[in-house]
Structure 1
Amino acid sequence: MDPLALFDEWYAKAKAGEPSDPDAMALATSDGNGRPSVRMVLLKAHGPEGFVFYTNLLSRKGLELSVNPQAALCFHWKSLYRQVRIEGPVRPVSDEEADAYFASRGRAKQLAASASKQSRPMADRAVFDERIAALDEEYAGRDLPRPPHWSGYAVKPLSIEFWEGTQDRMHHRQLFTRTDEGSWTRTLLYP
């Protein structure tokens, strides 16, 4: 059984039936000392080479991934009573991929990504608003270029766990682990 095909099947059902952000996934990272942190991000692409999200490279998550390029993801589709957990190494997406995705975003999102000093202290919200207004004026009538501090990452899955809940707490769990040769082994887990 191919876990990526199973993910595609579950993800399609989530997009059809999950009322709130089926693309949302918890992203767990840790710093160089192993101190973990977790936050929600949005899945923007996925396939054999990884599960892709975009962010400010100078944000807490970006800095943590620069010193410890390992991550864990968790999709929780509450209304479907399903969860998928993914763990693996992280690699930056190519400049071409990042440019293409940035260009596909609406102008307000481009301005926010360009103006934000994500995760750093801000004296007042007006400072951020002024940075956005200045960029909007500077690039009036022109496309914003992707800022150098903004790109994406792909988490290449070494393990994928599928959890399907039941009302009687006799949940179904399957763990797929990538072998050194690139194939997958499947293990059933106790709930």
Structure 2
Amino acid sequence: MSIADIRNEYERFSLDESEMAEHPREQFHQWLKQAIEWDVAEPTAMTLATADEHGRPSARIVLLKGYDEQGVTFYTNYHSRKGLDIDHNPWASLLFFWPTLQRQIRLEGPVNRISTAESEHYFNSRPLASRIGAWASPQSEPITRQELEQRFEHYAATLGEHPTRPEHWGGLRLTPQHVEFWQGRANRLHDRLVYELNDQEQWIMDRLAP
């Protein structure tokens, strides 16, 4: 079989303007709740796309850790590639893909660091091994497996049971200005409904051609 011949038909659901919430956050909440209820694999996994100071893009999977009226929050090493990208170009895109539901959600907007207090609170809620790992891993830098494990052992021995949060590790929040809800449909006539924030801070919804 040719790779080009691999395809699936999307016929499970539809998406109509009359079904959409007035605010994209509420629509996001509804879809995420359904993804969790349907036991979708990794429902909080999202692709984060960034670009460096030269406009060169990169993408990776991160995990959603919170969302509210301020935006969508995830955590990382600020010295990682994504952290440095955002320092240079604080505009990014997040993409959720739930194949079981034949759905995607795309969010675009500026990214900013969350408060120290918020980062501290989440860091202290993590398992001990994860907190040690935040110290041990010089994320995105070259390292051997042996060096990484040695660093973990070193910090596990020296930090104790209550490690503090490293200053280079914390939360980032994307504040959406563009949110698209994509529902797969038969014959590739997919539903794409997008919310766009206008100059009056109002959300305007449109349907896009698939």
Query: Do residues 129 (structure 1) and 149 (structure 2) align?
Result: yes
Residue among 39, 43, 59 paired with 2:80: 59
Residue among 192, 198, 203 paired with 1:184: 203
Query: Do residues 86 (structure 1) and 86 (structure 2) align?
Result: no
Q: Is the 8 A contact 1:18 1:80 kept in 2?
A: no
Structure 1 residue aligned with 2:97: 76
1: CA distance, partners of 2:98 / 2:40: 9
The one-letter code of the counterpart of 1:184 is: W
1: CA distance, partners of 2:119 / 2:206: 36
3-state DSSP class of the match of 1:20? coil
What is the RMSD computed on CA atoms of the aligned residues?
1.0
Flag the 1:34–1:18 CA change in 2: closer, same or farther, 3 A: farther
Q: Is the 8 A contact 2:40 2:98 kept in 1?
A: no
Structure 2 residue aligned with 1:23: 44
Structure 1 residue aligned with 2:127: 106
1: CA distance, partners of 2:40 / 2:186: 20
Count of aligned pairs: 189
Structure 2 residue aligned with 1:6: 27
Residue among 39, 50, 57 paired with 2:71: 50
**C-alpha offsets along residues 40-79 of structure 1, whole Å, 9 cap, x if unaligned?**
0000001221110100000000001011111000000110
2: CA distance, partners of 1:111 / 1:139: 8
Runs of 4+ in 1 over 4 A off after TM superposition: none
**C-alpha offsets along residues 121-141 of structure 1, whole Å, 9 cap, x if unaligned?**
01x21111111111111123x
Flag the 1:48–1:156 CA change in 2: closer, same or farther, 3 A: same
1: CA distance, partners of 2:127 / 2:49: 27
The one-letter code of the counterpart of 2:200 is: E
Residue among 163, 167, 192 paired with 1:148: 167
Q: Is the 8 A contact 1:45 1:53 kept in 2?
A: yes
- Relative to the length of structure 2, the TM-score reads 0.88
1: CA distance, partners of 2:92 / 2:69: 16
Unaligned runs of 5+ in 1: none
Higher Cα Rg: structure 1 or 2? 2
Q: What is the Cα deviation at residue 18 of structure 1?
A: 4.1
Residue among 128, 139, 156 paired with 1:118: 139
Q: Is the 8 A contact 1:18 1:77 kept in 2?
A: no
Query: Do residues 169 (structure 1) and 170 (structure 2) align?
Result: no
% identical equivalent positions: 40
Unaligned runs of 5+ in 2: 1-21
2: CA distance, partners of 1:75 / 1:105: 23
